[in-house]
């Protein structure tokens, strides 16, 4: 290994130096060389010149060759990086084992979900000792009836390194189940059918499709969505008749606009099927009667730029959640016979300070899922308007959302509640009596006591004056004196809000003295639709500066040791990580970037890559110079410089269909070639997984343990979990 000038000892002297000094100096050199020899050598990716040109601007990308998934040199490079990671983290092997055992030790091995009634059956899933996956079951009529096993994912997963159960749909007669699985990780699923009376699998299956499918009400027809094999855009809806060859399935709808995708759904009333065409800023619904699946889908309301709406059915009316003349959305209705926007009547008006996120229809009530000041609220309203109230919650930061409510003829709302200190809890709420019953709280083994932890909610003042919410949790014995390590997490894209939810693996950090925080940065919808609008397209940099401003506040307020601030984000949150370490590398000691979207310009210029055209509304179309220039100004890969960077762990999956593996691989290669520090730079590629990483209820936490070991090692906390002393 070559020793750089930067590690040359200062005691090198001229030939006239005294002999003892020379001896001492040579001893020091030998020690330095020995130490350097012990450090594993990082892979050096080859450079192949490649010039990319757009709008007359030329970019050099010497690692463009990594896009060749089948190239043996690419696979070899990824394996070398994995080997380098293993050698670099070898001293944390025992810690990783301890973390993994802690994390899975908190998970109840024989657990089940709260049963949900659909027609005359109760449906639920359960887990058994030694099982990585769920067993789906039902009981007829009552909860003490004999159990029927619908599907056992453990049997379906046998022989597969990767297994993802994409979902199922029970036949309207409840005698069959259609289900989809992916055994590669590229989100190409196979739909299969099982006879629930005989237990036999039907001979026909439908391969290379999305996870989206629904039964019609005639008892013999299934609609499903199929994607483009290259771009993965779901653009065709097919109609399949039981007992026929899938090759004879009928094309029911095709989405011609390449910036839109489409999928099929069913109304809660089960009377209508919908085909929904959508991109990030526009939707369009078509309908047909669910008991007449061979008829044509009829347009409900034509698509318009910047118009987003959704549809539900009750009686003679359709109900619409819409942003038409309502940035934060409102609720409208119109007759099924004439559902176009011309006939819409307002039910719930628009409010400047409240975002309407969704609604659920029941016989006597509707439930509105709202968000105000970053927090969820569940509003229960009777159809006659005489009863209008909110379900009460007590903690300063939490998530409350509607759960599985498939039946309309009930007065009970199923909802899920969780917080940074409260495990996921399932409640049934009597909407008329305003009484709730806790049906189940996820049991956390290992002596977990929520009373040992504290959650807080703060606001950082962004540089443009906006107040950015921060959710914080820590063990009560953790000192907030500016000496504790802190992990800050963020996302901030697609209008997806980062929720303050419980995660039992996180206890392994909290119990070792970490403070954990979520920065609710712009690009999500925590503070309303405007919060999203001000964090996308030509305002995307607000997402990055918000995150930096949150980190600085937490340091200033004593939540974090300024020398031990860590950050974590995945996918678009990985883009956030890449951007902030380019902008403020001095602020963070270490960063975990999971499946990071970091090669923004090149990816968005290539419409053959999955999801590209669909996402023009999020990032912009770089074929237009205004967006090209703006993307180029923040794209993490394009802005790597010759300077110091934090310690960095980057993860990806070879089969990832959302952020292709080559983005993080190229990013790491460029960082390694240019960065001027001696900090760790590690790349981990799961060679058998996709965007979500490893599968399995327990084995996926091997990767969690690796991430945590990386952070704990940097923070100097290698011991076992224990109560933190002030």
Q: Which positions are annotated as active-site residues?
A: 571, 656, 691
Q: What is the DSSP string of 466-510?
A: -EEEEEEEEETTS--SS-S-EEEE----TT--------GGGHHHH
Chain centroid offset of residue 105 CA? 24
Residues 6+ apart with CB under 8 A from 558: 480, 481, 482
Would the CA dihedral through 652, 657, 658, 663 be positive or negative?
Answer: positive
Cβ count within 10 A of residue 684 = 23
Rounded Cα–Cα distance for residues 459 and 467 (Å):
6
Rounded Cα–Cα distance for residues 275 and 265 (Å):
7
Rounded Cα–Cα distance for residues 511 and 474 (Å):
8
Rounded Cα–Cα distance for residues 224 and 422 (Å):
38
Query: Cα–Cα–Cα angle for 308, 314, 318, nearest 5°?
Result: 35
Helix (H, G, I), strand (E, B) or coil at 665: helix
Report which DSSP code applies to 4: P
- In 147-289 the beta strands, taken as DSSP E runs, fall at 147-152, 164-170, 176-182, 189-195, 206-209, 213-215, 221-227, 234-241, 250-254, 261-266, 272-279, 282-289
Rounded Cα–Cα distance for residues 330 and 101 (Å):
48
Rounded Cα–Cα distance for residues 24 and 14 (Å):
14
Rounded Cα–Cα distance for residues 682 and 594 (Å):
12
Rounded Cα–Cα distance for residues 542 and 532 (Å):
10
Q: Which pair of structure tokens corresponds to residue 448?
A: 């977990």
Say if residues 675 and 644 touch (Cβ distance below 8 Å).
yes
Residue with token string 């003295």: 513
Cβ count within 10 A of residue 12 = 12
Q: Which helix (H) or strand (E) holds 574?
A: helix 572-583
**Strand pairing report for 57-60 and 116-118:** unpaired
Chain centroid offset of residue 277 CA? 22
Say if residues 482 and 560 touch (Cβ distance below 8 Å).
yes
Residue with token string 């628009």: 350
Q: 683 pairs with which residues across the strands?
A: 650
Say if residues 490 and 518 touch (Cβ distance below 8 Å).
yes
Closest CA to 669 of 30, 17, 65, 28: 65
Rounded Cα–Cα distance for residues 542 and 67 (Å):
30
Q: Which pair of structure tokens corresponds to residue 536?
A: 């996308």
Would the CA dihedral through 502, 507, 513, 514 be positive or negative?
Answer: negative
End-to-end Cα separation, the chain, in angstroms:
44
Count of residues in the chain: 726
Residue with token string 């020899």: 37
Helix (H, G, I), strand (E, B) or coil at 81: helix
Closest CA to 415 of 354, 495, 360, 357: 360
């Amino acid at each position: 290994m070559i020793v750089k000038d930067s590690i040359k000892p200062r005691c090198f002297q001229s030939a006239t130096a005294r002999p003892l000094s020379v001896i001492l100096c040579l001893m020091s050199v030998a020690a330095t060389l020995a130490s350097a020899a012990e450090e594993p050598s990082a892979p050096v990716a080859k450079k192949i010149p490649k010039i990319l040109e757009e709008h007359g601007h030329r970019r050099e990308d010497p690692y463009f060759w990594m896009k060749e998934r089948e190239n043996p040199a690419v696979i070899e490079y990824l394996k070398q990086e994995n080997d380098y990671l293993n050698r670099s983290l070898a001293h944390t092997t025992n810690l990783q084992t301890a973390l993994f055992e802690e994390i899975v030790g908190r998970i109840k091995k024989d657990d089940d979900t709260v049963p949900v009634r659909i027609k005359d059956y109760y449906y639920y899933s359960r887990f058994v000792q030694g099982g990585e996956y769920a067993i789906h079951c039902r009981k007829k009529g009552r909860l003490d009836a004999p159990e029927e096993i619908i599907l056992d994912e453990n049997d379906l997963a046998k022989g597969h390194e990767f297994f993802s159960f994409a979902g199922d749909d029970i036949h309207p007669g409840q005698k069959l189940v259609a289900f989809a699985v992916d055994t590669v990780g590229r989100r190409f699923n196979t739909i299969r059918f099982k006879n629930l009376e005989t237990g036999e699998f039907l001979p026909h299956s439908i391969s290379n499709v999305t996870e989206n499918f629904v039964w019609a009400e005639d008892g013999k027809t299934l609609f499903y969505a199929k994607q483009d094999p290259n771009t993965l855009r779901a653009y065709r809806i097919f109609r399949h008749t039981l007992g026929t060859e899938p090759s004879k399935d009928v094309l029911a709808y095709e989405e011609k606009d390449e910036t839109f995708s489409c999928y099929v759904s069913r109304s809660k009333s089960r009377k209508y099927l919908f085909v929904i065409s959508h991109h990030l800023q526009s939707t369009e619904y078509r309908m047909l009667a669910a008991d007449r699946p061979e008829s044509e889908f009829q347009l409900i309301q034509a698509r318009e730029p910047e118009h987003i709406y959704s549809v539900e059915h009750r009686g003679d009316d359709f109900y619409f959640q819409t942003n038409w003349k309502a940035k934060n959305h409102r609720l409208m209705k119109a007759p099924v016979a004439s559902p176009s926007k011309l006939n819409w009547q307002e039910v719930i008006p628009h409010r400047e300070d409240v975002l309407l996120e969704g609604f659920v229809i029941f016989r006597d009530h509707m439930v509105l899922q709202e968000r105000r000041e970053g927090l969820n609220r569940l509003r229960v309203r009777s159809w006659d308007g005489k009863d209008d109230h909110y379900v009460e919650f007590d903690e300063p930061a939490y998530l409350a959302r509607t759960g599985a409510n498939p039946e309309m003829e009930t007065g009970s709302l199923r909802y899920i509640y969780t917080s940074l200190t409260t495990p996921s809890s399932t409640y049934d709420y009597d909407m008329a009596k305003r009484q709730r019953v806790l049906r189940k709280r996820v049991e956390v083994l290992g002596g977990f006591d929520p009373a040992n932890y504290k959650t807080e909610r703060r606001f950082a003042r962004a540089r443009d004056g906006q107040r950015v919410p921060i959710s914080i949790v820590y063990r009560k014995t953790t000192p907030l004196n500016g000496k504790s390590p802190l992990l800050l997490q963020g996302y901030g894209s697609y209008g997806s809000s980062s929720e303050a939810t419980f995660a039992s693996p996180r206890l392994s950090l909290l119990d070792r003295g970490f403070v954990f925080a979520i920065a609710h940065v712009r690009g999500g919808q925590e503070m309303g639709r405007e919060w999203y609008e001000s964090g996308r397209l030509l305002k995307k940099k607000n997402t990055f500066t918000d995150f930096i401003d949150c980190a600085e506040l937490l340091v200033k307020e004593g939540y974090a040791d300024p020398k031990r601030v860590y950050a974590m984000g995945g996918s678009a949150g990985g883009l956030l990580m890449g951007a902030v370490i380019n902008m403020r590398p001095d602020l963070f000691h270490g960063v975990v970037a999971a499946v990071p979207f970091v090669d923004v310009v090149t990816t968005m210029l290539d419409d053959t890559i999955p999801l590209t055209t669909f996402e023009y509304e999020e990032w912009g179309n770089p074929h237009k110079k205004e967006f090209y220039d703006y993307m180029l100004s923040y794209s993490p890969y394009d802005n790597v410089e010759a300077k110091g960077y934090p310690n960095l762990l980057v993860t990806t999956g070879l089969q990832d269909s959302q952020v292709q593996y080559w983005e993080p691989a190229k990013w790491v290669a460029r960082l390694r070639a240019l960065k001027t520090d001696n900090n760790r730079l590690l790349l981990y590629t799961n060679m058998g997984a996709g965007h979500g990483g490893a599968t399995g209820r327990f084995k996926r936490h091997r990767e969690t343990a690796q991430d945590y070991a990386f952070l704990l090692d940097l923070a100097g906390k290698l011991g076992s979990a224990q109560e933190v002393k002030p």
